[in-house]
């Protein structure tokens, strides 16, 4: 996984585990960069979501 903000490479699975303590939900889908704390939504999931929206319209 490469951060799209600072381009640091890190383990996405490790980062996701850290977010499971988030107060918003038990475990969100976002991946957080350990260096700059920039939050990314996995692209594959985003494309699926957009496709779903297009099918509805």
Using CB under 5 A as the criterion, which residues of the chain lie in contact with Zn ion when the complex forms? 3, 5-6, 8, 33, 35-36, 38
C-beta of 18 vs 50, nearer to Zn ion: 18
CB of 52 to Zn ion, least distance (A): 28
- The string of DSSP letters for the chain reads -B-TTT--B--HHHHHHHGGG-SSSSS-S-EE-TTT--EE--HHHHHHHHHHHHHH-
Tokens of 39: 């939050």
C-beta of 8 vs 47, nearer to Zn ion: 8
C-beta of 17 vs 50, nearer to Zn ion: 17
């Amino acid at each position: 996984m490469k951060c799209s903000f600072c381009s640091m490479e890190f383990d996405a699975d490790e980062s996701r585990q850290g977010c499971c303590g988030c107060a918003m939900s038990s475990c969100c889908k976002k991946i957080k960069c350990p260096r700059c704390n920039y939050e990314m939504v996995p692209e594959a999931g985003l494309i699926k979501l957009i496709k779903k929206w297009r099918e509805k319209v």
